[in-house]
Each structure stands twice: as C-alpha cells, then as structure tokens.
Amino acid sequence: MTVTHKFPEGFWWGSAASAMQTEGAGFEGGRGKTTWDHWYETEPNRFFDGVGPETTSDFYHRYKEDIKNMKKIGHNSFRMSISWARLIPGGEGEVNAEAVTFYNNVIDELIAQGIEPFVNLFHFDMPLEMQEKGGWENREVIDAYVTYAKHCFALFGDRVTTWFTFNEPIVPVEGGYLYDFHYPNIVDAKKAFQVAYNTMIAHARVVEVYHKNYDGKIGIVLNLTPSYPRSQNPADLKASHICDLFFNRSFLDPAVKGEYPEDLIELLKEHGHLPTTQEGDRQLLKDNTVDLLGVNYYQPRRVKAKEQLPNPYSPFMPDWFFDNYEMPGRRMNPYRGWEIYEKGVYDIMINLRDNYGNIESFISENGMGVQNEERFLKDGRIEDDYRIDFIKGHLKWLHQAIQEGCNTKGYHLWTFMDNWSWMNAYKNRYGFYAVNIDTQERTAKKSASWFEEVSKNNGF
C-alpha cells in the first residue's frame, strides 16, 4: 500500500460499540431491566422481525475472542459502554459484583492486547426503574446517575483514563419525547427540552466529579450533523440556522462553551418552551466543560424554508421552522435511506476549529449499514468494497481537516462486529466482522483486512 494520506503519530484507530447492542446475556449476571427490555416485552411488534436485545452479539461470553480480533486488525483504541442496569440493577442501590467482574475482565483484556479502553457511561439504556421515576425529566434520576458514575470511576478509573458521559444525548430526546421512535414514546416538546436540559446538568455534574478526583480526560459524544441550507436565500439560511440550534448547538455549546446559545433561549422563550432551571445550574455548566469531544457522523442534514405554515393546533416541534430538503443528485445508501456526503466530517472539524476553540476531538462513529451482505460472499468472505470506499472517502476529508490545523485525534468505525440495532434488529450490518446470528460465529470481512493495513501504516 502506497501511503498518500498519512495521519499524525498516535492517531486512534478503532471502533465503537454499546453495551445494549452487543453484550447480550440480557437475563444473566444479575442485570436489571432497561427501558428496551420493557418496551420489547410490551410492544414487540415495533421491533424489526420482532427481535429484541436478549442475545445480540453475545459479547458478554465472547469478549476475549472479539478483543483478540480487534488486536488482529490493528485497533489501538475501542469505545465501549457500561450498562447502568447491569452495574447497578434498578439504577440505585447495591453494585452488582458479577458486572464488576465482567467489566474488569473486558478492560484488562483490552489493555493486555494493547488497546486503550474509551468508556462511555450512558448509551440510551435507562434502567427501567429510573424511567418509571420520570427518567431525565426528574432531577432525582440525575442524582442516581452521578452516584453510578462515581462507582464507575472508583472501580475502573485506575485503568481507564478516557471517559464519556453520554453518547448522542439528543437521540433519547428526539426518539422518546418528540418523534416516537424510542420508549417512553411521548410527544411533548416541553418535556423534550426539559430532558435535554437535565441531561446536560447530569453531564456537567459528572464532569465536575471526575475533574475533582481524577486526572484523565472526560468528554461527551455528540452526533453532529451539519445543517446545509438549500440556497443562500435569507429564508433558507434562517431555516438552517434554527435547525443547527436545535440539533447541534443545544448540546455542543453547553458541553464545550459552558453556555447555551442566546438565540436558542430567545426562541424557546418566545414559544413558552423554556425548561425549568435551578439556581447554580448556569455556573455548573460554565465551570465543567469537556476535555475531549467525540463526533458521530453518518449523514448531512439539508433544509429549506417552510413551504407551509405549521398547523397551530399541532404539537410544537423543531420542524415548525424548517422543511427537510432532498437535494437533486445526492448519493444515497439505499438500505438505510441516508445520504453519503463525506465532506461533512471536514465541515464539522473546521467549525470546531473556528468556533469551539479547536477542542481535541475525534470521529467516534461513522459507518455504513447494508442489508443482506451475504450477497457479497465470495470464498467465505464478505467483499464489502462499498464499506472500504465509504471509510476511505471520510478519511480523506478528515486528513484534509488535520492538514488545515484541526485538532482531530482519531477515527472509530461503527462498529467492530455486526450487532443488534435499536429498532432494526439485524436488518443492516455495520461490522468489520460478520456475525452469524444463529451460531454466533465471527468472520472478518474484506474491510477488516483493509483497516488492518491502514492502522499498520497509520494512513492509506
């Protein structure tokens, strides 16, 4: 391989996964129930092919084999999440010794294989009992989450020095409180903004605890999606600005700058949707900004000015201020229904460089889900050249951003091996490794050996 795109020394090559989507062992090892277990029990019809999260990729039993495979394809870092419901069943009270053993084993195995564990504390998997108290609407749940985080730091902080408070915290807001694709399936913007706000208060409190007692790094993982206007017409520009406020800056600004954008506050005030705050919140956010930012990027968001006025009797929505725009000639991943636009990673990094103090960041997720990958099976291997092209296209733009002074430290693919997706089960496959859902056998795809070369050469 002739290397034309060389990355900085010590660049993080790896992948990301979440507890709920890979561990399996849903009723083993003393794990408590999550909102997903409960929703699947009550409405299995809302899950693709009626498949729930009980087994997934069985990482709980096969982590040694998986970590060995990570090593084999050149990982020097891996982002995992801890399941709150596994570590503290019910969300508060006793720590589960079996969970401690499991996570210790995983962390030790990663380190033994020369892979740095990046550990995330919350990846959409709220313990059911916490959701029954109101989830992030309720400040008591914040207290329980802070206690859980303290346990994680005390148990694993001697070996883990890179932490994240939340993965894509806007998704539970969108899914659970606006657009009905996650439990608790509430459509209520007032509650949505309260949940979003309280999540950032929970985040800041955990950052505070970590900085007081440990000297590693703590950050947050945000799915930043550039909002591209259809045109330079002022109406289109305004639509994209408001869209950016809702979907990016509502989390990015408080996380990195320690404050909310003034115009977002004004907009919510005008429509009577400001969340309830408490004294001391503002200072808490100000004093506890992140050391590191994980950026998940899959697709751009394209918007235009509204064609029609919103129905005044409909629930308040961010979509009152913009329409989605389908750009003619865009490239699509037909399986996921998502546009492929590699330059998006560059635009995100330039924005972080110019407007967010060039904070240390990395691509914490990027990936391509494809259906029926068996079609591409040749001599026992899935020839996923489309995935290689997808990664390469994004890495080229990431390399360009680094050349232009962006403080970008790594690239993690979603995901290491095929896993269960929240509502899509195993419809779309994302992994470097194929997982046979019946036998749990792992098989490297072509992208795995390509990535191994990239990591070895620190470029391509």
Number of C-beta neighbours around residue 386 at 10 A: 15
**Contact indicator for 125, 176 with CB cutoff of 8 Å:** no
* Distance, CA of 36 to CA of 127 (rounded, Å): 9
| Radius of gyration for the chain, computed over Cα atoms and rounded to the nearest angstrom | 21
276 within domain boundaries: yes
Q: What tens digit of pLDDT does each residue of 149-182 get?
A: 999 999 999 999 999 999 999 999 999 999 999 9
330 within domain boundaries: yes
Number of C-beta neighbours around residue 54 at 10 A: 13
Residues recorded for the chain: 460
**Contact indicator for 70, 78 with CB cutoff of 8 Å:** yes
| Strands, E assignment, 291-386 | 292-296, 301-304, 323-324, 332-333, 338-339, 361-365, 370-371, 377-378, 381-382
Helices 170-177, 189-213: axis angle to 10 degrees equals: 150
| Least confident residue range of 50-54, 159-163, 273-277, 431-435 | 50-54
When the pLDDT of each residue in the chain is averaged and rounded to a whole number, the result is 97
CATH of the domain at 251: 3.20.20.80
The model's confidence at residue 25, banded by pLDDT at 50, 70 and 90, is very high
What residues form DSSP beta bridges with 14?
A: 77, 412
* Distance, CA of 233 to CA of 24 (rounded, Å): 50
* Distance, CA of 318 to CA of 321 (rounded, Å): 6
Residue 424 tokens, joined: 């899509």
DSSP label at residue 334: T
Is pLDDT above 90 for 334? Answer: no
158 within domain boundaries: yes
The domain of 344 spans: 12-457
* DSSP per-residue string spanning 113-179: TT-EEEEES-SS--BHHHHHTTGGGSHHHHHHHHHHHHHHHHHHTTT--EEEEEESTHHHHHHHHTS
pLDDT for res 248:
98
- Find the catalytic residue in 174, 365, 441, 453: 365
Q: Is the dihedral of CA 267, 313, 43, 372 positive or negative?
A: negative
In the chain, the amino acid numbered 251 is F
7 within domain boundaries: no
**Contact indicator for 411, 12 with CB cutoff of 8 Å:** yes
Q: What is the pTM of this model?
A: 0.97
In the chain, the amino acid numbered 290 is V
Q: What is the mean pLDDT of residues 177-205?
A: 98
43 within domain boundaries: yes
Active site residue 365: yes
Q: What is the mean pLDDT of residues 230-256?
A: 98
* Distance, CA of 71 to CA of 456 (rounded, Å): 11
Using CA atoms, how far residue 45 sits from 21, 51, 70, in Å, is 19, 9, 35
353 within domain boundaries: yes
Tally the domains of the chain.
1
What residues form DSSP beta bridges with 251?
A: none
**Contact indicator for 234, 241 with CB cutoff of 8 Å:** no
Task: With CA atoms as reference, report the closest residue to 58 among 402, 391, 438, 445.
Answer: 438
Per cent of the chain over pLDDT 70 is: 100
pLDDT for res 1:
74
Is pLDDT above 90 for 274? Answer: yes
User: What is the Cα 396 distance to its own chain's centre?
Assistant: 22
**Contact indicator for 138, 101 with CB cutoff of 8 Å:** no
Per cent of the chain over pLDDT 90 is: 97
The model's confidence at residue 335, banded by pLDDT at 50, 70 and 90, is confident
**Contact indicator for 413, 451 with CB cutoff of 8 Å:** yes
* Distance, CA of 185 to CA of 39 (rounded, Å): 10
Q: What is the mean pLDDT of residues 321-332?
A: 96
298 within domain boundaries: yes
Residue 270 tokens, joined: 């005008």
DSSP label at residue 29: T
Residue tagged 């009270």 (tokens): 93
3 within domain boundaries: no
Residue 261 tokens, joined: 């954008």
- The number of helix segments (H) and strand segments (E) in the chain equals 16, 19
pLDDT for res 337:
84
